[in-house]
Amino acid sequence: MQNEIVARQGDLLPCLRDTGGDRFFTLVDALSIDTVLYEVPILLITGGFLYMQINYLNEIPTKHGRLVSWVKEWAELMTPEGVYWCDGSKAEYERLSDKLVSGGLATRLNPAKRPNCLLFRSDPSDVARVETRTYVASEKQEDAGPLNNWIEPEDLKKTMRGLYRGCMKGRIMYVIPFSMGPVGSNIAKIGFEITDSAYVVINMHIMARVTPKVYEVLGTDGEFIPSVHSVGKPLAEGEGDNGVWPCAPVRDKYIAHFPETREIWSYGSGYGGNALLGKKCLALRIASVQARDEGWMAEHMLILKLTSPKGESRHIAGAFPSACGKTNLAMLIPTIKDWKVETVGDDIAWMKFGTDGRLYAINPESGFFGVAPGTSMDSNPNAMHTIAKDSIFTNVALTEDGDIWWEGIGYDPPGTLIDWKGNKWNAATAKEPAAHPNARFTARAVNCPAIADNWEDPAGVPIDAFLFGGRRTSTIPLVNQATDWVHGTFVGSAAGSEITAAALDLKMGTVRRDPMAMRPFIGYHVADFLQHWLNIGKRTSTDKLPKIFFVNWFRKTKDGRWLWPGFGDNSRVLEWVFRRCAATVDAVETAIGLLPRKEDINIRGTNVTNDDLDALLSVDIDGWKEELVAIKESYNTYGDRVPKELLDQIDALEKRLG
């Protein structure tokens, strides 16, 4: 075997390029794979040169040439202790869990109370997606649009390669094969994630289909989306994490997307959407670009199956910004008799046209990465059942008896807790919440009692209706049906939600415009995204397109009382949506869209009064005039690529409001 030396001793990149066949020698031939695992350094000094040999800890499970050389290239740059190809097995999950527990990074919860569950505490600087460090590095800046951060792709790659160089020193490089969507579905996509985080591996086990079956679909030359991740914390000789969540400082974090080449490069964060690259990075930002190019849709939408007392079913997909109860809606338990809601997905929908001209949706994920605080037996009993076992909790509080607790869990904290920062916490003396407001559970979809029987149908489920929504305390009615697809696209493009978390650098109570709830997730120009929506509407006949509704559970009276009970009672609105799809109920044509007749919203058994319902279903002309000004302002920030058809919608609405 011949080797090409590409770095000298003392260089930051010690490596040896292997120009031999597709197998690589291990460092110490005499050692078996098992003893090499996690132990043997990969640097070898010979004759004054520093060699790096890629130390494969297990068999390379594929003959896919591009895949193998992609992994090899990154291993050479990142210089891990060894490369391990994940298989997604239960044994692997358990082995990595044990490693995380023994390394002090995870706490195993009381198996009698919370079987097969782990608790992690992240670094206080690494608790959420970091939009300011998230980039869409398209070749041209104008293609990233005004809502994305942009750096010239080669510049960004140069900077990031500098950070990646040697970044896995002292760590294992895991190669995760995964399918977003049921393996082999024609809507699904295959991805590979390289990561040095065992936390990421076990979370991916839950959130995506991690299985060697993807190699069968992939063959020797199939397409995959290459996704690279490092926590950005190389270890010095003999150094360990010592129970401290590894990550890089915020200024070094990059969550980068290269839309033309369909690549994802993430560095410096170990948390959620920054690190579990199948989710927001692949299934939304990169997939939205593919969907635009290939004529389908990748949307930030829950998918639910709604069944009437007569046993008829309709499928509804809904886009809501963060903190608007998407997971709760996806798992809702109706308060109206004999109606049933089942969950297909709670966050992302991929939709393609079927041969019948209708849109069919799959949930590309296989788990829920939900916000824990506020989740309770009142707000979402199905979620509480889902997280009863086999779950990962991040940044929640720990009870004395080894269980979890968070604000809004529905009962008082039992005794002294350990808060998300690892400190003792007492309700009486506490100044800060015990759980981080963005604390999360990672839970398996199959453990959800409300999971729909057809949730893994590779053909997807036919979508009858889209819902858009936001948290709006005034103006926006309880439910409003768009008159047609173009109007619906306009309504979705103007979606917004009031800011609730003071942590965001935005004024509380102001409305943040969030077109289709995709603001942080569109992998290209927002105006082109809106054009794509219009194009989709032209690809089939009107009667086959989903009907579009805008809902608002969050209306208040002037003195601050909620007008609508929400949660399970939202089924009363879903019933109207169902009946509109089935054409069994009329609507009132108004200036803003099609509103329910008062008598068609069932409020029996609620404390909603007739006056409340009047307020919820009226058109507030003055409020809408203000709304129109705000919509125009948001459109102005999208530049001159906003489709004319949508600008015409503004004019038409203005005229109708008088």
Q: Which amino acids are annotated catalytic? A: 324
CA distance 374 to 391: 17
Over the window 395 to 434, marking each residue x when it contacts Mn ion by CB under 5 A and - when it does not, the resulting string is ----------------------------------------
User: In terms of CB distance, is 347 or 569 closer to Mn ion?
Assistant: 347
Q: Which stretch binds Mn ion (CB under 5 A): 340-348, 465-473, 508-516, 607-615?
A: 340-348
- 46 DSSP β-pair partners: 49
Q: Which stretch binds Mn ion (CB under 5 A): 69-77, 339-347, 486-494, 635-643?
A: 339-347
**Nearest distance from C-beta of residue 300 to Mn ion, angstroms:** 6
**Nearest distance from C-beta of residue 461 to Mn ion, angstroms:** 19
| Cβ neighbours of residue 491 closer than 8 Å, sequence gap 6 or more | 468, 480, 482, 548, 550, 593
Would you state the structure tokens that stand for residue 191, as one six-digit string? 């991805």
Is residue 300 within 8 A of residue 270, CB to CB? The reply is no
**Nearest distance from C-beta of residue 347 to Mn ion, angstroms:** 4
What does the H/E/C string look like for 585-646? CCEEECCCCEEECHHHCCCCCCCCCHHHHHHHCCCCHHHHHHHHHHHHHHHHHCHHHCCHHH
Entry field: residues in the chain: 658
Q: Which stretch binds Mn ion (CB under 5 A): 218-226, 257-265, 304-312, 344-352?
A: 344-352
**Nearest distance from C-beta of residue 124 to Mn ion, angstroms:** 22
| Cβ neighbours of residue 502 closer than 8 Å, sequence gap 6 or more | 508
Binding to Mn ion (CB under 5 A): which residues in 185-204?
Answer: none
| Cβ neighbours of residue 280 closer than 8 Å, sequence gap 6 or more | 129, 273, 520, 521
Residues in the interface with Mn ion (CB under 5 A) total 1
User: In terms of CB distance, is 18 or 347 closer to Mn ion?
Assistant: 347
Instruction: Annotate 419-438 with b (16+ C-beta within 10 A) or e (fewer).
Output: bbeeeebeeeeeeebbbbbb
Q: Which stretch binds Mn ion (CB under 5 A): 161-169, 263-271, 347-355, 578-586?
A: 347-355
**Nearest distance from C-beta of residue 318 to Mn ion, angstroms:** 12
Using Cβ positions, the residue closest to Mn ion within the complex turns out to be 347
Question: Which secondary structure element, helix H or strand E, spans residue 34, and what is its range?
Answer: helix 33-36
CA distance 443 to 449: 12
State phi, psi for 294 to the nearest 5 degrees: -110, 0
User: In terms of CB distance, is 123 or 347 closer to Mn ion?
Assistant: 347
User: In terms of CB distance, is 347 or 514 closer to Mn ion?
Assistant: 347
User: In terms of CB distance, is 299 or 347 closer to Mn ion?
Assistant: 347
Tokens 């291993």, residue located: 75
**Nearest distance from C-beta of residue 561 to Mn ion, angstroms:** 29
CA distance 410 to 408: 5
Beta-strand relationship, 134-136 and 254-258: parallel
Binding to Mn ion (CB under 5 A): which residues in 490-519?
Answer: none
List the one residue from 347, 390, 403, 419 that touches Mn ion (CB under 5 A).
Answer: 347
**Nearest distance from C-beta of residue 305 to Mn ion, angstroms:** 20
User: In terms of CB distance, is 320 or 554 closer to Mn ion?
Assistant: 320
Alpha helices in 79-123 (DSSP H): 90-102
What residue type is 372 in one-letter code?
Answer: A
> For the chain, give me the number of helices (H) and strands (E)?
17, 35
User: In terms of CB distance, is 347 or 612 closer to Mn ion?
Assistant: 347
Decide: is 528 part of the binding site for Mn ion (CB under 5 A).
Answer: no
Q: Which stretch binds Mn ion (CB under 5 A): 176-184, 228-236, 307-315, 341-349?
A: 341-349
User: In terms of CB distance, is 18 or 514 closer to Mn ion?
Assistant: 514
What count of Cα atoms within 13 Å lies in the side-chain half-sphere of residue 389? 7
Is residue 224 within 8 A of residue 232, CB to CB? The reply is no
What count of Cα atoms within 13 Å lies in the side-chain half-sphere of residue 324? 31
User: In terms of CB distance, is 320 or 360 closer to Mn ion?
Assistant: 320
User: In terms of CB distance, is 519 or 580 closer to Mn ion?
Assistant: 519
CA distance 93 to 507: 43
**Nearest distance from C-beta of residue 90 to Mn ion, angstroms:** 28
Is residue 299 within 8 A of residue 457, CB to CB? The reply is no
**Nearest distance from C-beta of residue 304 to Mn ion, angstroms:** 15
Is residue 286 within 8 A of residue 259, CB to CB? The reply is yes
Phi-psi region of 409 (alpha: psi -120 to 50; beta: other; left: phi over 0): alpha
**Nearest distance from C-beta of residue 291 to Mn ion, angstroms:** 17
Interacting residues with Mn ion (CB under 5 A): 347
